[in-house]
Amino acid sequence: MSAPGPAPWPKVIAIDGPAAAGKGTLARRLANHFGLAVLDTGALYRAVALRMLRAGAHHDDVAEAAATARAIRPSDLADPELRSEASANLASRISAIGDVRAALLDFQRDFARNPPAGAKGAVLDGRDVGTRVCPDADVKLFVTASVEVRARRRLNELRETGHAAIHSRVLKEMKERDARDRGRELAPLVPADDAIVIDTGGLNADQVFAAALDVITSRDRARWG
CB 82 within 8 A of CB 50: yes
Please report which confidence band the pLDDT of residue 2 belongs to, taking 50, 70 and 90 as the band edges.
very low
pLDDT of residue 81 exceeding 80, the answer is: yes
Query: Rounded CA gap, 22 and 175, in Å?
Result: 17
Quickly state the pLDDT bin for 6 (edges 50, 70, 90).
Answer: very low
Nearest-10 crossing angle of helices 167-183, 147-160? 120
Report pLDDT for 137: 96
Per-residue pLDDT averaged across 163-183, rounded? 90
- Determine the average pLDDT of the residues in 167-184: 92
b/e code 68-87 from CB counts within 10 Å (16+ = b):
bbeebeeebeebeebebbeb
pLDDT score of 10: 72
CA dihedral 30, 33, 37, 42 (to 10 degrees): 20
Q: Are 125 and 20 contacting, i.e. CB atoms less than 8 angstroms apart? A: no
Between CA 109 and CA 188 the distance in angstroms is 18
pLDDT computed for residue 58 by the predictor: 85
Of the listed ranges 45-59, 172-186, 211-225, the least confidently predicted one is 211-225
pLDDT by residue (tens digit) across 24-73? 999 999 999 999 999 999 999 999 999 999 999 988 899 999 999 999 99
Helical packing angle, 85-94 and 167-183, nearest 10°: 20
Q: Average the pLDDT over 3-15 and give the result.
A: 66
**pLDDT above 70: residue 220:** no
Q: Kindly report, residue by residue over 124-171, the tens digit of the pLDDT.
A: 999 999 999 999 999 999 999 999 999 999 999 888 877 777 899 999
- pLDDT at site 1: 36
To the nearest whole number, what is the mean pLDDT of the chain?
Answer: 90
Pick the CATH number of 12-212 from 3.40.50.1860, 3.40.50.300, 3.10.580.10, 3.60.21.10: 3.40.50.300
Residue 217 has pLDDT above 90, yes or no: no
Q: 99 or 162: which carries more pLDDT confidence?
A: 99
Give SS3 for 38: strand
